[in-house]
Structure 1
Amino acid sequence: MKQPHLLINRYKWYEIIGIYAGILVFLTFVLAPFVEGFLVSLKPLSQLFSSPYRFIPENGSFEAYRTMWISVPGFARYIFNSFFISTVVTAVVLVLVIPASYAFARFEFRGAGLLLAAFLAVNMFSGAVLLIPLFRLMRSLGLLNTYFAIMVPGVAFLIPSAIWLLRTYMMRIPRELDEAAFVDGASQFYTLRRVILPIAMPGIMVVAITTFIGSYAQQFIFALTFNSKTEFAPLPVGLFAYFGRQEVVWNELMAASFVGIAPAMIVIFFLQRYLVSGLTAGAVKQ
Structure 2
Amino acid sequence: MKILNLGSLNLDRTYRVEHFVQAGETIPAIGYGTSPGGKGLNQSVALARAGAEVCHLGAVGSDGGELLRILEEAGADTQFVQTLSGPSGHAIIQVTPEGENCIIIFGGTNRQITQEMVDAALRSFGPVDLLLLQNETSQGEYAIREAKRRGLRIAFNPSPISQELFRYPFELVDYLLVNEIEGGALSDRPGGDPEEILRELCRRYPDTAIVLTIGADGVFCGTNGQFCRHGAYKVPVVDTTAAGDTFCGYFLSGLARGLSLEESLELASKASALAVSRAGAASSIPALSEVEASRL
TM-score by length of 1: 0.19
Which has the bigger relative contact order, CA under 8 A and spacing at least 6? 1
More helix by share: 1
Greater Cα radius of gyration, structure 1 or 2 = 1
